[in-house]
A and B are shown apart, each in its own frame.
Chain A
């Protein structure tokens, strides 16, 4: 267990350094941006005098030396203050907090579906190499990668919200329903179907192929041969001996893909007008709402770092070779 603790501490420190680096990047971006806060505010206000500009600068601490500003910035972030939105005039952190659950709902549902179905598909395909099903997986992976995710979403909309209007075309919920009521939840579920399916499809394509490759690799290993030689049934060999080993790379890679996952979510939210972080980010960019954009950038990077850390630690925990140290 001591082995694990050492690894854990090292990784956590690493993660903290990464987050700090992101913060610094954010800070740099604020200052690289052509035109700064003052110009924007001045633009809004109209009728400026140099004194007012100096006042604003002082208020925002822009008259202090750069490194001091950086230190202040870091402190603010540590306190959870991600800045103040130009457009909405409320703290960025609040905006993010409000939008986050919707995005999580979408992403977690899609990811879970894709992982479970993808793993199953992969196992089936690995047990029957060269079968029609295995070819189907190859085709699925190819199509899943080649079709732009936003286009797939739009196709689904056309098919199931226009030609055959089964699902609502936009948004998360129909207005007028009491939040918290059963009707509300069902309504959200109804709205969720198309975006989740679109998102899940992309992940599914990737995970089925990954799962198949991992399973094939494991099924060819020596310990599987030993298991068969012991007289175990094929089902036990595949689902007990092989799968547990095959899952390790699948889960690991799944965890590390989180950065891509967020990107997909942005596009899907845009297509389905889903009120989540992605929509928030897009609007912020179009409105040149600097603090919000950077706040979201920092937040999502931090989430990725934390998520990677968790995946890493989990992997170290479940693989006994790593947990206990190897004699090799």
Chain B
């Protein structure tokens, strides 16, 4: 008969070794951290950010010149004694402005981003998880906020209520949460349909548990990346508003420095160039870190 004798193929593992390699299993956080550290640009960004944090949070205690004080002749170039970075049109020390002004910029940037993330995450996660009419309503609201030109709307808000650090931060946050919402929603939609969610549901986990303990941790990588982007964007936004003169005039910030010296740029380039460089470096640092996090957590998506 043409029947193949299968007995010769019975598993006979007792008499030989199957050479199977099981590679070491690594905790995803460790793996992400390792990949991040390998990324030279990301590490450079981190170091840069640390430098800037030191400059703006620590240095003010050492370099105590008030940025609003008139220290020397106006429009002195960098390298003048008493004013290493020069002075502006009123004679204010630029270096003092950098050291003391950074705090406001960073504080507003961070809190605005934080606000945007909180709002965006809430809206997006609920929309993505529950779907149906909840999704519809929330998405309509998101769309509404999306069509309002961000800068104009923020300008209006700040103009309506007295401009202060808090107002600016809130205005920026209120205007920039839609990107986070979209991302959160798509992440929740994606993860919600994965099999392990069905498994969690089948053991009757409550919605709240599932959202907080299962989906959210999985959405974290993308959300963290988006959050760093939001910080960068918020810093730029704040700089823009200060530049236009719409922020609190009693608080020194880098954008304010550029804006107030704008008319003197032809004769005193350092008054606008130097603060701008610091804004650039800060946002660059944050972006590099964000890119690094992105690569570390989503290696397949990265295209060079």
Contacts and interface: CB of A to CB of B under 8 A. Distances in A.
Given A142-B284, A157-B265, A262 B258 contact: no
Contact of B156 (A17, A18, A285): A285
A285 to B, nearest CB: 5
B122 interface: no
Interface in A217-269: 217, 259-260, 262-263, 266-267
Interface in B243-263: 243-246, 255, 258, 262
A148 B303 contact: no
6 contacts: A146-B280, A158-B272, A266-B151, A267-B151, A267-B240, A305-B147
A85 interface: no
B147 A151 contact: no
A33 interface: yes
A169 to B, nearest CB: 7
A146 B232 CA distance: 8
Interface stretch (A90-98, A108-116, A192-200, A291-299): A291-299
Nearest to A305: B147
B143 interface: yes
A151 B280 contact: yes
A213 B149 contact: no
B132 to A, nearest CB: 18
Given A148-B239, A270-B244, A293-B159, A263 B152 contact: yes
Contact of A134 (B146, B244, B280, B304): B304
B149 A304 contact: yes
B58 interface: no
A212 B304 CA distance: 9
A301 B148 contact: yes
A142 B287 contact: yes
Given A129-B303, A148-B236, A286-B245, A259 B155 contact: no
A296 B143 CA distance: 19
A151 B152 contact: no
A145 B283 contact: yes
A53 to B, nearest CB: 22
A300 B152 contact: yes
B149 A297 contact: yes
B75 interface: no
A244 B239 CA distance: 39
B160 interface: yes
Contacts of A29: 156, 160
Given A143-B284, A146-B280, A301-B149, 17 more contacts: A18-B143, A22-B144, A22-B147, A142-B288, A146-B284, A147-B276, A148-B276, A148-B279, A150-B240, A150-B258, A151-B239, A154-B262, A260-B150, A262-B152, A271-B262, A293-B156, A304-B147
A37 interface: no
Contacts of B147: 18, 22, 259, 301, 304-305, 308
B152 A266 contact: yes
A138 B258 CA distance: 27
Q: How large is the interface on A (under 10, 10 to 19, 20 to 34, 35 or more residues)?
A: 35 or more
Nearest to B277: A151
Interface in A266-291: 266-267, 270-271, 281-282, 285-286, 288
A32 interface: yes
Interface in B139-178: 140, 143-144, 146-153, 155-156, 159-161
A130 B302 CA distance: 12
Nearest to B155: A285
Contacts of B291: 142
A203 to B, nearest CB: 15
Contacts of A304: 147-149
A288 B283 contact: no
Contacts of A216: 303
B205 interface: no
A241 B87 CA distance: 58
A308 B143 CA distance: 11
A164 to B, nearest CB: 13
Contact of B303 (A147, A212, A262): A212
A145 B269 contact: no
Contacts of A271: 262
Nearest to B141: A21
B265 A288 contact: no
Interface in A155-173: 155, 157-158, 161-162, 169
